[in-house]
Chain A
Amino acid sequence: MSEVLALPAHKDEAWRYADLEALAALWPLPDAEAVVVPANGAFARAVVQDAGGVTRLNLTLERGARAAVHVLNTGAVFGRVELAVTLHEGADFTLGAAQLGGGEATLEVVATVRHAEPGATSRQVVRSVLAGRATGTCLARVEVAKGAVGTDAVQSIRAMLLDRTATANAKPELEIFADDVKCAHGCAVGELDPAGLFYMASRGIAPAEAKKLMLQAFIAEAFVGAQAEERLLALALHALGALV
């Protein structure tokens, strides 16, 4: 019992990169919000967390249900978004998340998507832009249960470092106990292309604007198809202004 309530430590894999000092102030965390999307139902949620905190959401998608969760995680603080998703037969899930942090920010997306039954599909797209001494982490896990044939799961995790002092952690994970599944994951950490920045400057675009244009395109990938796409992009662009 006491173990459950105890503050996590860095040796706990899911909390390895967390800001534990900030977490202590929030501890104990309230229970995760649990949502069950009924068979063939649809669910959409935009999570905008711009002043830190921990958001936890447990989703269960019944047969043929669809859900899309889009996340904008920003601010110069500790901000964590946790998702635990269970997909039943033929369900479809999309996670699109952008994390934008500078200063000493610690931003995290921790997602587990469990394909419990056959024929479910999932996509996870996470984009982080990190400046200063910020840390951005993405722990994304796909579990394919025994018998969950026909699973189609995609993970794309990318981070852009604006300063060499910033840190990106990316851990895409696949755990597969079924045959005949399609699981793809990709992960990259990089910097803005200096040749592209000079090209833009040579056309008259000032460095900060050039960076914003390139980063906007980078982040937009996380919000494609979101119900709140325009609002999320506008908020993200505003947050970018503070980083470049």
Chain B
Amino acid sequence: MLQIHNLHATVADKPILKGLSLTINAGEVHAIMGPNGAGKSTLGYTLGGRPGYDVTGGEVLFCGQDLLALAPHERAAAGLFLGFQYPVEIPGVSFVQFLREAANAQRRHRGEEPLSGGEFLKLAREKAALLRMDMDMLKRPVNVGFSGGEKKRAEMVQMGILAPRLAILDETDSGLDIDALRICGEGIEAIMRKPDKAVLLITHYQRLLDYVKPDFVHVLAGGRIVRTGGPELALELEEQGYEAVAA
């Protein structure tokens, strides 16, 4: 589904990713762990196409397409979802309006019929219930006045509605209390644990992985993947720290 080969990327001319390679197949859950500044968020933003994150080398294939040739909104329509560490507030635009626009923009881009108002609301209600989010919250402006945990749950609601093939979730576990962590973890499982979908979890901690069990764990350090293993690697990291394991 995703093949990253020797990816190099800079932010403000500073090299951050330095030859990162990674392959993710359909049906797999991968976790990328690593110390602060290793390039984890940069990887997410680079794959999402955020302006200011410049690819200086390498290639990325997503479902056979050259991902890097696509504009950010085209990447989303192709089935890529980026869960933000810090979801952005958009004053004056309601979640319902935003998400309906997003879902239908993606559908139009893929040549599918747009959802009617009723169809969309039914879908939104279903996904909000999955994440135990009050539908009334989705009538409010995007992320405005949401707590950290509510923002993350709203990200998962969005993921449920947009139904991506690949979700890259950047520190979805940060800022979550124990209950919200479980709800988000179960949400990821329910939405993404499918034979035709895949997940890339970017995280500092092992705790999310209790709920979303990864098939592969990678250690990112210095802009490259320095070690790959199974779920046991996350436990090893938790016990011994990055320095010992990544060395």
* Beta-carbon contact of B84 and A217 below 8 Å: no
Roughly how many angstroms separate A216 CA and B90 CA in the complex, as a whole number? 12
CB-CB nearest in chain B for A213:
B93
Roughly how many angstroms separate A214 CA and B103 CA in the complex, as a whole number? 17
Q: Which residues of A contact B214 (CB under 8 A)?
A: none
Min CB gap A208→B, angstroms: 10
Q: Which residues of B contact A193 (CB under 8 A)?
A: 88, 90
Q: Which residues of B contact A196 (CB under 8 A)?
A: 88-90
Would you call A9 an interface residue if the criterion is a C-beta within 8 Å of the partner chain's C-beta atoms? no
Min CB gap B139→A, angstroms: 14
Encode contact with A along B34-72: 1 for CB under 8 Å, 0 otherwise. 000000000000001111000000000000000000011
Roughly how many angstroms separate A218 CA and B73 CA in the complex, as a whole number? 22
CB-CB nearest in chain B for A221:
B92
Encode contact with A along B85-112: 1 for CB under 8 Å, 0 otherwise. 0011111110001110111011001000
Q: Which residues of A contact B81 (CB under 8 A)?
A: 202
Roughly how many angstroms separate A209 CA and B84 CA in the complex, as a whole number? 21
- Given A201-B71, A203-B162, A204-B162, check contact A218 B92 (CB 8 Å): yes
CB-CB nearest in chain B for A206:
B73
Would you call B31 an interface residue if the criterion is a C-beta within 8 Å of the partner chain's C-beta atoms? no
Q: Which residues of B contact A200 (CB under 8 A)?
A: 73, 90, 98, 102
Min CB gap B230→A, angstroms: 30
Residue from the list B48, B51, B82, B162 in contact with A194, Cβ < 8 A: B51
Would you call A207 an interface residue if the criterion is a C-beta within 8 Å of the partner chain's C-beta atoms? yes
Tally of contact residues, A, Cβ under 8 A: 23
Min CB gap B98→A, angstroms: 7
* Interface residue ranges, A against B (CB under 8 Å): 193-196, 198-207, 209-210, 213-214, 216-218, 220-221
Q: Which residues of B contact A209 (CB under 8 A)?
A: 101, 105
Q: Which residues of B contact A214 (CB under 8 A)?
A: 90, 92-93
- Given A198-B51, A199-B88, check contact A204 B102 (CB 8 Å): yes
Q: Which residues of A contact B90 (CB under 8 A)?
A: 193, 196, 199-200, 213-214, 217
CB-CB nearest in chain B for A195:
B88
A-B contact pairs, 23 of them (CB 8 A): A193-B88, A196-B89, A196-B90, A198-B50, A198-B51, A199-B90, A201-B73, A201-B76, A202-B49, A202-B72, A202-B73, A203-B98, A204-B73, A204-B106, A205-B101, A205-B105, A209-B101, A209-B105, A210-B73, A213-B93, A213-B98, A214-B90, A217-B90
| Given pairs A193-B90, A198-B51, 20 additional interface contacts (CB within 8 A) | A195-B88, A196-B89, A198-B50, A200-B73, A201-B71, A201-B76, A202-B48, A202-B49, A202-B75, A202-B82, A203-B98, A204-B106, A204-B109, A209-B101, A209-B105, A210-B73, A213-B93, A213-B101, A216-B93, A220-B92
The total of interchain contacts (Cβ-Cβ below 8 angstroms) comes to: 82
Q: Which residues of A contact B71 (CB under 8 A)?
A: 201, 206-207
Interface-centre pick from B51, B109, B158 (highest chain A CB count, 10 A): B51
Min CB gap B91→A, angstroms: 7
* Interface residue ranges, B against A (CB under 8 Å): 48-51, 71-73, 75-77, 81-82, 84, 87-93, 97-99, 101-103, 105-106, 109, 141, 158, 162
* Beta-carbon contact of A203 and B51 below 8 Å: no
Q: Which residues of A contact B92 (CB under 8 A)?
A: 214, 216-218, 220-221
Residue from the list B49, B103, B109, B141 in contact with A201, Cβ < 8 A: B49
Roughly how many angstroms separate A221 CA and B101 CA in the complex, as a whole number? 21
Q: Which residues of A contact B73 (CB under 8 A)?
A: 200-207, 210
* Beta-carbon contact of B88 and A203 below 8 Å: no
Roughly how many angstroms separate A130 CA and B75 CA in the complex, as a whole number? 30
Q: Which residues of A contact B106 (CB under 8 A)?
A: 204
* Beta-carbon contact of A198 and B72 below 8 Å: yes
* Beta-carbon contact of B105 and A204 below 8 Å: yes
* Beta-carbon contact of A213 and B76 below 8 Å: no
Interface-centre pick from B51, B84, B93, B97 (highest chain A CB count, 10 A): B93
Q: Which residues of B contact A221 (CB under 8 A)?
A: 92
Q: Which residues of A contact B72 (CB under 8 A)?
A: 198, 201-202
Q: Which residues of B contact A206 (CB under 8 A)?
A: 71, 73, 105
- Given A214-B90, A217-B91, A217-B92, check contact A203 B48 (CB 8 Å): no
Q: Which residues of B contact A213 (CB under 8 A)?
A: 90, 93, 97-98, 101
Q: Which residues of B contact A205 (CB under 8 A)?
A: 73, 98, 101-102, 105
Roughly how many angstroms separate A69 CA and B98 CA in the complex, as a whole number? 30
